[in-house]
Chains A and B, each alone.
Chain A
Amino acid sequence: MARVVYPKIVTANHLLEGDVIYMTASGDWSRKHEDAKLYEDRHEAEDALKFAQEQAHMLAGAYLADAQIGKNGKPEPVHFREAFRTRGPSNYPNHGKQAEV
């Protein structure tokens, strides 16, 4: 079975807190996955990643992650690791992003 190729988002950790961040369509950064710009085109995604990696003064560890359009029309994670990154640790529901919801 052919492997499904998903669109990509650019994600990283914020330099100061280490919090998970996502690159938006304007090239800014958001703490919410749903604000991420979804790249269907591989070259565009790689260019966006390069742009992110040049912003070393405010982030660390930028990479491309699989994502897809969810029911609400906004990007959502494909892999469980990325889903956990949108929330926080499962043993403390009051820690991480999930605490802010």
Chain B
Amino acid sequence: MYNYNQFDHDFVRNRVKEFRGQVERRLDGSLTEDEFKPLRLMNGLYLQLHAYMLRVAIPYGTLNSRQMKQLAMISEKWDKGYGHFTTRQNIQYNWPKLKDTPDILDALADVEMHAIQTSGNCVRNVTADHFAGAAADEIEDPRPTAELLRQWSMDHPEFQFLPRKFKIAMTGSPNDRAVTKAHDIGIRMVRNDKGEPGYEILIGGGLGRTPMIGKVVREFLPKADLLPYVEAILQVYNLNGRRDNKYKARIKILVHETGIDTLREWIEEVFETQKIHHQTPPAEMIEAIEAQFQPPKFDNAKVDEDKLSKIIAADPLLRSFVETNISEHFDSNHAIVTISLKPIGGTPGDATAKQMRIMAGLAEAYGYDELRVSHEQNIILPHVRRDDLPEIYKVLKDAGLATANVGLLSDMIACPGMDYCALATARSIPVAQELSIAFEDLKLQQDIGPLKIKISGCINACGHHHVGHIGILGLDKAGVESYQITLGGDGTQTASIGERAGPGFSYEEIVPAVSRIIDCYMNIREGKNDTFLDVYRRVGADPFKEALYPEETATA
């Protein structure tokens, strides 16, 4: 993984020093809140419902054990002993005190981390496939490109005051695990006719008030052209994106109002100029970045698969864990482990300091010191030997981290909602908790099969509800929490925006309503391999609407 050079170290330390001075001036009254707010937001510090919240960037979701242990230490020393992993592959602390935040940022800098550009109308943390560098289906590891984009966007003088925030996601695999089609820019690694790797570039995807699927602006971009091309997109957006209306300021609205073909012409025109004038990073700099993302030196001793199979077969819980939480690695002796942060009845994405240390310890002992945060709010051990799986499972089980539910109903995304967020219009966490308790039987969840439920506590859609197979949006309806259901959303390479099922449900009604959707699916599916999304795409919304609103449909 990428290690800071002296420039990175100095830059981050100087930002902490600068912020320390700003906090001091706020505390002694020299700065008003109006003056201080944009400064704290530039350093990831929000003021939420009950307390401050610090959002820490985890670039493209990659961590080593030292960093994870530091996150644990920070949570114990300055917070309440836990952290919340988010859909942007960040971690959020919900209870820091203002005077402590410069010390927290210094502690982050000690392990090459920061909270810069986790807020504000700038290019945010670049996210990537959480299986990057490990997935069997990968064309190339997307992280060197994501790191290049991080360096380019960090404190970029031209792009600190964009019309609105700007999110870039990247995948190196055809199977899109990074929701690239719902980002301002989605970058997908592809090969051209000559077999050379390059990028397909999408723009204008996004969720929120006006959900849109990204459109292809360039089918194949040679790797060397990435920065001038992305810079051209940003320049066109910076100049033409709407600044008159916050709700119409994202690039998706520019794409929608201008049309992708016209916008493509504008971008290509700027790109042609950019190509001449852009200071493309020298090849040795790119190579130096790429060198830091080389796969670890794998232990290539052949795994005794017969022995492993017997061990797995002898323990039904281990078998269930392996079937559900393990993914294929490009090296046949290795596997990818997804550690679910969705225990039954727990808060999606939360991990205690103790759990963080245990995951860090596993990465050290069995995982070549690598960890990833997924946008689905889980933690990944990207490289583990297959014959270590039983031992890893045992450690996870003892730590309450072995829930075998990855990709199943209780592996939900939920934003912090009105339990924390100042923008929320309703709670989302307790809905997730109650849904997971209602379906606590993992055998039932396995029988239901792949299902993505995503819950947002407001229209901003941090919980990705639009791309949930079942999406739940919490709203304030005349002073009462109300939950709107969308159906058929998909955040993968076959992305689609879920369709609204009908009127909302009260807090008390929402779990029974989801249960009726599940019952309906189980009744009409044609066998276990007929997934919820397959069924929805085949039969449409009508049977589900009948299940959701039996009285209305009976009298219609």
Interface residues of A (CB under 8 A from B): 13, 15-20, 56-57, 60-61, 78-81, 84-85, 88-92, 95-97
Q: A80-B480, A91-B350 are in contact. List 5 more A-B contacts (CB 8 A).
A: A17-B52, A80-B479, A89-B420, A95-B80, A96-B50
B452 within 8 A of A: no
Query: Nearest CB to that of A87 among chain B residues?
Result: B50
B residues near A84, Cβ cutoff 8 Å: 49, 418-419, 427
Kindly state the separation between the CA atoms of A13 and B47 in the bound complex, as whole angstroms: 8
Docked complex: B433-491 residues within 8 A CB-CB of A:
433, 476, 479-481
Query: Nearest CB to that of A17 among chain B residues?
Result: B97
Q: Specify the main secondary structure of chain A where it touches its partner.
A: loop
Q: Does B50 contact A90, Cβ atoms closer than 8 Å?
A: no
What 8 pairs across the A-B complex have the smallest Cβ distances? A89-B419, A18-B51, A57-B29, A18-B52, A60-B33, A91-B347, A91-B429, A56-B32
The answer, among A13, A20, A81, for a CB contact under 8 Å with B418, is A81
> Known contacts A90-B427, A90-B430: does B33 contact A17 (CB below 8 Å)?
no
B99 within 8 A of A: yes
A residues near B95, Cβ cutoff 8 Å: 95
B27 within 8 A of A: yes
B495 within 8 A of A: no
B98 within 8 A of A: yes
Residues 91-131 of chain B, each 1 if its beta carbon lies under 8 Å from chain A, else 0? 00011011100000000000000000000000000000000
A residues near B27, Cβ cutoff 8 Å: 15-16
Kindly state the separation between the CA atoms of A84 and B480 in the bound complex, as whole angstroms: 13
Kindly state the separation between the CA atoms of A79 and B424 in the bound complex, as whole angstroms: 13
Kindly state the separation between the CA atoms of A15 and B98 in the bound complex, as whole angstroms: 7
B residues near A97, Cβ cutoff 8 Å: 50
B residues near A92, Cβ cutoff 8 Å: 80, 347
Q: Does A89 contact B98, Cβ atoms closer than 8 Å?
A: no
Q: Tell me how far the C-beta of A100 lies from the nearest C-beta in chain B, rounded to whole angstroms.
A: 12
Docked complex: B213-228 residues within 8 A CB-CB of A:
none
B175 within 8 A of A: no
Q: Does B430 contact A91, Cβ atoms closer than 8 Å?
A: yes
Query: Nearest CB to that of A88 among chain B residues?
Result: B50
B residues near A61, Cβ cutoff 8 Å: 33, 47
Query: Nearest CB to that of B427 among chain A residues?
Result: A90
Kindly state the separation between the CA atoms of A88 and B95 in the bound complex, as whole angstroms: 11
